[in-house]
Amino acid sequence: MKTAIKLILVMILIVCMSSFTYNVVNEGYKIGDVVDDFSLKNINGEKVSLADYKDAKGYIVIFTCNTCPYAVAYEDRINQLNEIYVGKGYPVIAIMPNNPQIKPGDSFKAMQERAKKKGFTFPYLMDEGQTVYPKFGATKTPHVFVLQKEKNVPVVKYIGAIDDNYKDANAVKTRYVEDAVNALLKGAKITNTETKAIGCTIR
């Protein structure tokens, strides 16, 4: 029985690897740019917009998905970010940018299952039609954009990685997103406004 399962898994893997395409995304929001609001479906099928969060001071927008090992490595940390900052006015808004026809593991149903299994405390939205991630200029998962409301309009304040160690949450030295939001809360200058990390190309 075990061999049969292995055989099947290997076959699935090979079949799935056979054909995938790739899109290049270039421009997107820079630090200081105003973000257009969006209206995307959450795992309950309800539309969510930034404007729904009337009391928010800003947002932690994270492009993430089910299928990328780097994104998966950060799931618990994304949950923690929301737990720390939702009460301080910076909710996490997670957006799944991949095309589920190319990546079946990122289907709406798979998103629902993942959110339930991991107990996501934040909205997990699907970028249906892939119209939102190109505007942000997100290229990979995970890819974070910290926004701050200025005159009630969301402005980009930080772009990049969650922290400096994808492998081991306990070995993290610099928590880029936390540092950025803490700075915003204090009205201080953000030390690292842009950071880089390896991620899975959005497809």
Partner 1 sequence: MRKYAVIGLVAVLTACIGKNSKVQFASNELTVLEQSKTNLDSIKLDVFDFNGLKPLLNKKDDAIYVINFWATWCRPCVKELLYFEKLNREYAGKNVKVILVSLDFPHLYDSKLKPFIKDRKIKSKVVALDDADMNSWIPQVNEAWSGAIPATVIYRNDKRKFFEKSFTYEELENEVALFLK
Cα gap 3→22, rounded to integer Å: 34
Q: Does 161 bind partner 1 (CB under 8 A)?
A: yes
Between 53 and 158, whose beta carbon lies closer to partner 1? Answer: 158
Q: Does 55 bind partner 1 (CB under 8 A)?
A: no
Contact between 54 and 89 under an 8 Å Cβ cutoff? The reply is no
Give the x-and-dash track for 11-50 against partner 1 (CB under 8 A). xx-xxxxx-x-x-x--------------------------
Q: Does 144 bind partner 1 (CB under 8 A)?
A: no
**Between residue 176 and residue 195, which ones bind partner 1 under the rule CB under 8 A?**
176, 192, 195
Cα gap 146→172, rounded to integer Å: 19
Cα gap 184→85, rounded to integer Å: 12
Tokens of 15: 């079949």
**Between residue 61 and residue 80, which ones bind partner 1 under the rule CB under 8 A?**
68-69
Contact between 131 and 202 under an 8 Å Cβ cutoff? The reply is no
Cα gap 13→114, rounded to integer Å: 20
* Residues near partner 1, by CB under 8 A: 1-2, 4-5, 7-12, 14-18, 20, 22, 24, 68-69, 139-140, 143, 160-161, 164-168, 171, 173, 176, 192, 195-203
